[in-house]
Amino acid sequence: MIVYDRLSALCPDIALHGQVPLAPCTTLRVGGKADVFAEPENEEQLKALLSAAWQAEVPVLLLGNGSNLLIKDGGFRGLAVRLGKKFSAITVTGNEIYAQAGALLSALSRAARDASLTGLEFAQGIPGTVGGGVYMNAGAYGGELGKFVTSVRVLDGDGIRDISGSDMAFAYRHTRAMEEQWIILGASFHLETGNMEMIEFAMRDYAARRKEKQPLEYPSAGSFFKRPTGYFAGKLIEDAGLKGARVGGAQVSEKHAGFLVNRGGATAKDFLALKTLVQDTVKEKFGVQLEPEVRIVGEDA
């Protein structure tokens, strides 16, 4: 409990919890415990927490909805900070929407629809938060968040500041925030005025396509691998004969080979072994190296 004691001494007014299981905080439902866990109520608490962690040289793991994350079975030796409901405000002003980092992308998409603003229909089924989505430029069905971001509120060692969307260097599943290790607090999006019924129709269409093609009935982290240049990861995996391949409770989805799913009782070790099997097989058969889109953190058990 050394880490807990250090942070408690530096942040006496913030609720901290020791040895908290992180599996329920991820959509894969696997992973060990964090030494310390906290859910700050506002930006000042978050700033104080991170400052204390940096001062005490304690590693920090930022969590949103945990939808693009694999935490190893040994857990995380440090401070896990979840930005959830208390960091989820969404404000619409004309054609601009500001959303805090903890807001779900589905909620952001619905807020845009309710204001008759078009552009974010594709995001209604992405199971992540605004913070994580902007951090890695999440996208689906040809749309990407970065196309609509006008500014991003970030926290780093110099404090809180706003970064223009053009300075974020948005690219496929990559942003400047990843390079600079910025903590994203929120983002502003500029959208075009549209027809609410057409926006709703598009959202329903995306939802139906997801239900038909994606294994929504099982815990997953979404698309597990990045799209290799000139290929589709799911097709490569399927063509390699790996649909349905299983290690323990982890399985290559029988519905969509780009998804690795938890069929029940899976461990992070199962997923890591399945990841390696997929990578090695695809590399051997097609000469293509698949890279994980999912972040892998923590320690082995």
Cα angle, residue 60 at apex, residues 26 and 180 outer, rounded to 5°: 105
Query: How does DSSP assign 106-127, residue by residue?
Result: HHHHHHHHHTTEES-GGGGG--
How many domains is the chain built from? Answer: 3
Asked if residue 96 lies in contact with residue 150, where contact means CB atoms within 8 angstroms, the answer is: yes
Active site residue 293: yes
Q: Look up the domain containing 156 and give its range.
A: 87-198
The domain that holds 178 is classified in CATH as: 3.30.465.10
Burial class from Cβ neighbours inside 10 Å (0-12, 13-18, 19+) for residue 300 reads exposed
Task: Report the distance separating Cα 206 and Cα 130, nearest Å.
Answer: 19
The enclosing H or E element of 205 equals: helix 196-213
**Could you tell me if 21 and 71 lie in one domain?**
yes
pLDDT score recorded for residue 6:
86
Q: What DSSP state is assigned to residue 182?
A: P
Q: 151, 188, 223, 253: which one is catalytic? A: 223
Which pair of structure tokens corresponds to residue 258? 């780009």
Say whether pTM exceeds 0.85: yes
Query: 171, 198, 225 — which closes off a domain?
Result: 198
* Number of residues that this document lists for the chain: 301
Query: 57, 82, 107 — which closes off a domain?
Result: 82
Q: CA 76 → CA 60, 61, 197, 262, 273, distances in Å?
A: 9, 8, 45, 21, 20
pLDDT score recorded for residue 246:
98
Q: List, for the chain, all residue ranges whose pLDDT scores fall below the cut of 70.
A: none
The domain that holds 47 is classified in CATH as: 3.30.43.10
Task: Report the distance separating Cα 30 and Cα 267, nearest Å.
Answer: 6
Query: 82, 116, 139 — which closes off a domain?
Result: 82
Asked if residue 153 lies in contact with residue 232, where contact means CB atoms within 8 angstroms, the answer is: no
**Could you tell me if 93 and 194 lie in one domain?**
yes
Q: Tens digit of pLDDT for each residue in 38-66? A: 999 899 999 999 999 988 999 999 998 99
Burial class from Cβ neighbours inside 10 Å (0-12, 13-18, 19+) for residue 4 reads middle
Q: 77, 173, 176, 210: which one is catalytic? A: 173
